[in-house]
Structure 1
């Protein structure tokens, strides 16, 4: 054996717990062989390699049947059957303990038996045993087979009363001493007991299993062939062989122990057929761990056989189809303890199967690995989702390559998407009316999506259309202003018909009204009643999932409400009948969550950007104002008013997102009933404060429009100050000098569409004089002189009627 191979095996090959190899080089130091017997023999007989036992015996004298033999640059074991006291001693080598028994009387022998018990601790699953051997079976009349025995097992077998020493008698046959023998070879291998097999009953621990075995016969010999005319020198040559373990159905069984036996005779054969001087030399014993596949089958993306023409030694294959993870390749490994890893690599479109032998180690045994690669056609990358301003296109039916929308494209549109491959790049561009989205990936054909915007848009309004819920279609749907599940978008929009739709009722506060109700959807979820001026997104069957929300859909002319006003409040008439709250989860109980049965209406004014309800933190910068009311149980129509809280400034382009629901908590209850009527936006047009000369005008009230102050209209009108009530309200003033009156007109933000949206406040000045005096023009120059129209005259006035120092006066 060469020195390099010797060092490789000896570096960790001495057999120990969890070792994956056995010491099969025989090149190390050999130690004394002390044959075991049931009487505790201490006499040595020859030597044996480390970790192994040779079947040498001591029967009053040494009988050595195994010895070292030179082979290449090292040692081998030569086993030779030998005669002792008229008996042939079989020569074998074992990882266990060899034993022999016989009872003799002079030259007579009875009850002869022997073999191996025990083995070495071991936990691996080798697939084969390889070795070099040289065989001489030229002796005797019959050609004798040699044996290779190996087995792996777990648990323990115990045989009672096995005689296990050579007992020499003088006045009669000797009597061998019996022992309980553990893990005898025949017992572990499950071989039947015959008359020639000594010992008592056999028992085993629960679950004990012979996991794998080899029982191989070496037939013939390895005599060197002679060339024509060459002299026969009776020379034998070395050959190599590899024998597979047979695992049967025990491939996955645990292994605890191993034994390997090489015998110069038929190990389990009849002892009378052992031939003296036949020999078997052994070297380079090694456990083999396979790291390949026995079979491999692949499929196209429709599940059809891809006809790979598999060969275990061919490692690359090609399938003319894209990969479908519903039809992954099927394979079986070659290697009882081999580890198989299989994974599809989307970047390369390769399905890679890696098979590592059980003895694989990245540093000490890096070659114990095989890699099989199946190359698929790389699919064109696609979009698995596309959302524009909150409108998710595609849903459960996938995404079309050409999409038409009725709305306008906004330069600040929020376009989000997910690609089918993490390695894809997505580019988008807008030209004319078309948004083009191109999905590309190296080695694949790009996929192009076009979204065409028709550019339609509704006019901005100051009131929500159909806010009195009088307009319904013949099919019983609100035909203007409001939307519910029937126009929903999102992944589950196709199931909108299962959700509770709004219904018309005749006994509204005034005329018709709308009714919302919550329902239990076949035990899957509890769905709230929902009504909005925007669009509903149905993204998940769980009501609380963030994929469910109302939103302003700017891609759909019917999915948003452009809004012109800056309202101060809204009012709605409502009545609410509560249903049944769902059970709280354990987490909700721990957090002190309470389900209140109440309806809600909420109005959100936002700028020209995406917006959701429930609101998202990322969108709050687009919020202008909001107002809401909670509606408790009430059997009668009741007016509820909510004031707007402004957090931003009105925008040139803005939207109103109004939403009504049977409960502000998603999926909170079932069988709730919320009736709504006469939703009205309020635009204040009043004064909140009125002062004269820095002091509050006596008796001021926003509802009161007539006031009197003491002062000079011409000189003191500038002392009038006021504040306007109403976010978008505007005020103007006018003077009536003839009547000594100052008027303040306050117009609400909706004045352009509502002529009544104004309030006029009249302020009278009481210090004017009824009598008319006179003054010369020269005297008038030193006084304050105004025309009757309120225009001040500087210098000497012409003759006529004037207001001089606040009094009507004739100037001469």
Structure 2
């Protein structure tokens, strides 16, 4: 007794845990059957398995019984048997059936006469799953009428159908016709299944959206001759209802044609049922892969075969794997694994549970040839050719190739990369190979274009813009729209330069922006390219750089400027909140920075590793100002000698601290490089000429010593300026010409200084008639006998000849 009680508890627990199933083995404890009628019957009639209801009728007899399949099993193995019986009172055959719903029967009699007889099932079991079929074992005995089929009926639905005034009991009349009690019946099988209304019962209504989701209506026609047979009957889901919600299920096993006429019922025919189970498929009904060209591949698919091989690589742009799940409520997960070359499809039945039902899962594997190893990064001279999402293998670049500045990352640690460069075709080739895989080949063809080295930045007055509806700055400048780097594909989210009315003509505006709460992006303008390597603005992989692979991403430079000037105004936005209370908030200000450097992919912000490549730099910080204001930045140089090849990297930003603020606004115009063509000092006889200033160009010195002009020395102000000195002793004049470093392209950029000697007031005079009695020389040192009037050197002293 204790053992049976324990089994009962386990059975109840199993029913609770497996809500996707019904109690179909009938081996747990049975219970008394109390047939329902509309008058509230409480009389017991026979027994029934837990969760099911026998169609026993109080006045008509027992149609169902508990049968033992094997008493030797522990516990005993039971089944349900339903029989068609003859009722002598009403002289009619009564159908045998059992159901998850509630059986009912009605009739009104007057002595031996019967009218309004009817019956069936209403209601069912609360249920939310989508089973694909029902399996069961059965014995069928139709020896009392072979033309009578047994019936398996099942259906799933949501919502509620209500039929008014359905008679629900057998009422016996002696002195007149009995009158059955009528009730409103919920979810009568005929109503849910959409069948025509019988003579019993009133109008039928249903709740909004009530839907019959799926059905089974199966006939068992043959006799099993005492043997047990097994059958699996699929649910038929109504069109469009595969994903509809389910609220209830009902299952009916009948020993007769359940919806057939009463006259077809053959007393004595029976149906015995055991091991009823809802089936949830976890398989595929079709599987159609293609190769890497998109052509179908015949794999001789079978739902019970789980491993396949395709003699092709998997190309995400061309390869597809089509499949159809067999289970209505099944879920499918499918993915390709680059490392293994396998396309794996995992199908889980709706009844899958990792702990209680892990077997309700099938895994199909298609083994493709392992894909060729690829490059996940290819960087040439600072330019990243494989940004996120780019699967191309052939690239072009307008600039030059730097074979000693090539770096890459392969998708496999076992891959090898062979690098070659064809000088004639200007083509860089990288072949990525791995044992057992085809190779991948990447090429970058360089057009070798370059710009002439300049002394000024092209379009530095910001006058030239494209004619697009959304004006784009042209010539010499770049922003996020031409960015390189891993995250270059997200550049469209970043703030672009705007065309505005400038200090003179057009100007440019850059702004900082909040990128949907991810980060604050600085406004950015550069003569190089922007590398977008991270979503964190402060990350070292975000920088401006001179991109020598792209003719539009670099600026070859010829000059050694002394300074630059720019007109600007700045409106600060909102600083990013400090993460540390002690953290000092940086001042909100814009910045313009110009860096001269050697033949390298130089960065701004600068990095220590490239310090040896730097030539010089200048910058200005621009605080808040409403009006256009001129700012001047002086160059400082790291080397005294100009390299043979150099570039200028100019950058403007809304904040020198990356990601520090949003909604800043920096306006710029008339950026100009300055080349000084003046002197810093002018000395004669080792001393600075009295009254000297760089702006003063003419000087007069009283002296009788003509050789004094040869002692003149100068110090130029411009670092790249050149000086030419000419001494004219005949006229006692020294001419000093200072040429700005850009003189070759700007001939006006020169300054001429003159230093003139005049005799002192003590200079004497001599008559020309007496010249022959003295040694007389011109100021140029030529001796003459008959001088004309003028200044001469007579006997070693300056004399005025009269």
Task: Report if the CA contact (8 A) 2:373-2:412 is conserved.
Answer: no
Match of 1:36 in 2: 36
Q: CA, structure 1 residues 441+760, in 2 after alignment: closer, same or farther (shift >3 Å)? A: farther
Q: Does 1:373 align with 2:365?
A: yes
Give the SS at the match of 1:527: coil
Bigger shift: residues 98-107 or 239-248 = 98-107
Q: Quick one: structure 1 residues 92 and 15, their matched pair in 2 at CA, closer, same or farther if it must change by over 3 Å?
A: farther
Partners of 1:15 and 1:21 within 8 A in 2: no
How many Å separate the matches in 1 of 2:245 and 2:256?
A: 31
- Please name the residue that 2:97 is paired with: 92
Q: Aligned to 2:36, what secondary structure does the other structure show?
A: coil
Secondary structure, aligned partner of 2:237: coil
RMSD over aligned Cα atoms = 5.7
Instruction: Give the match for residue 289 of structure 1.
Output: 280
Return 49-58 or 302-311, whichever deviates more.
302-311
Q: How far apart are the structure 2 equivalents of 1:398 and 1:121?
A: 52
Aligned pair partner of 1:275 in 239, 246, 266: 266
The Cα of 1:258 is off from its aligned counterpart by: 0.2
Q: CA deviation at 1:311?
A: 2.2
> Do the aligned partners of 2:556 and 2:648 also contact (CA within 8 Å) in 1?
no
For the residues of structure 1 that align with 2:368 and 2:262, how far apart are their CA atoms?
62
State the shift of 1:27 in Å.
1.7
1:159–1:182 Cα contact (<8 Å) kept: yes
How far does residue 372 in structure 1 lie from its aligned partner after superposition? 2.2
Return 70-79 or 166-175, whichever deviates more. 70-79
Residue 177 (structure 1) shift: 0.6
Q: Structure 2: how far apart are the matches of 1:391 and 1:168?
A: 98
Shift of 1:753: 11
CA contact (8 A) 1:34 1:44 kept: yes
CA contact (8 A) 2:287 2:321 kept: yes
* Contact persistence 2:556–2:646 (CA under 8 A): yes
Q: Secondary structure at the match of 1:57?
A: coil
Bigger shift: residues 270-279 or 376-385? 376-385
CA shift at 1:56, angstroms? Answer: 1.5
Q: Is the 8 A contact 1:406 1:454 kept in 2?
A: yes
Contact 1:69 1:76 survives alignment (8 Å): yes
Correspondence for 1:806: none
Aligned counterparts of 2:202 and 2:396: Cα–Cα separation in 1? 86
Change beyond 3 A, Cα 1:407–1:270: closer
Q: Structure 1 residue 409 and structure 2 residue 430: aligned?
A: no
Give structure 1 stretches of 5+ with no counterpart: 224-235, 468-481, 485-512, 575-587, 592-599, 631-639, 665-673, 714-719, 734-740, 771-812
Number of the residue aligned with 1:786? none
Written as runs of structure 1 = structure 2, the 5 A alignment for 1:112-261 is 112-138=117-143, 140-195=144-199, 198-223=200-225, 236-249=226-239, 250-261=241-252
> Which stretch has the larger CA shift, 651-660 or 40-49?
651-660
Are residue 529 (structure 1) and residue 529 (structure 2) matched? no
Distance change in 2, residues 1:367/1:704 (3 Å): same
1:39, CA displacement in angstroms?
0.3
Partner of 2:599: 608
Alpha carbons of 1:52 and 1:758: their partners in 2 closer, same or farther (altered >3 Å)?
Answer: same
Q: CA deviation at 1:274?
A: 2.4
Are the aligned partners of 1:19 and 1:122 in contact in 2 as well (CA < 8 Å)? Answer: yes
Counterpart secondary structure, 1:78? strand
Alpha-carbon distance change, 8 to 191 in structure 1, aligned in 2, over 3 angstroms: farther
Counterparts of residues 436-447 of structure 1 (less than 5 Å): 437-440=430-433, 443-447=436-440
For the 8 Å contact 1:33–1:47, the answer to whether it is kept is: yes
Residue equivalent to 1:81: 84
Q: 1:220, CA displacement in angstroms?
A: 2.2
**Distance in 1 between residues matched to 2:284 and 2:322, nearest whole Å:** 11
Question: Structure 1 residue 268: deviation in Å?
Answer: 1.5
Say whether the 8 Å CA contact 1:103–1:175 is kept in structure 2: yes
Match of 2:466 in 1: 518
Classify 1:729/1:296 alpha carbon distance in 2 versus 1 (closer, same or farther; 3 Å).
same
Q: Does 1:10 align with 2:15?
A: no
The alpha carbon displacement at 1:388 in A equals: 2.4
Aligned ranges 1:534-549 → 2 under 5 Å: 537=482, 542=492, 544=495
- How much has 1:305 moved relative to structure 2? 2.6
* Alpha-carbon contact 1:152-1:257 (below 8 Å) kept: yes
For residues 37 and 700 of structure 1, do their structure 2 counterparts lie closer, same or farther at Cα, with a shift above 3 Å needed? same
Count the aligned residue pairs: 640
CA drift at 1:400: 6.6
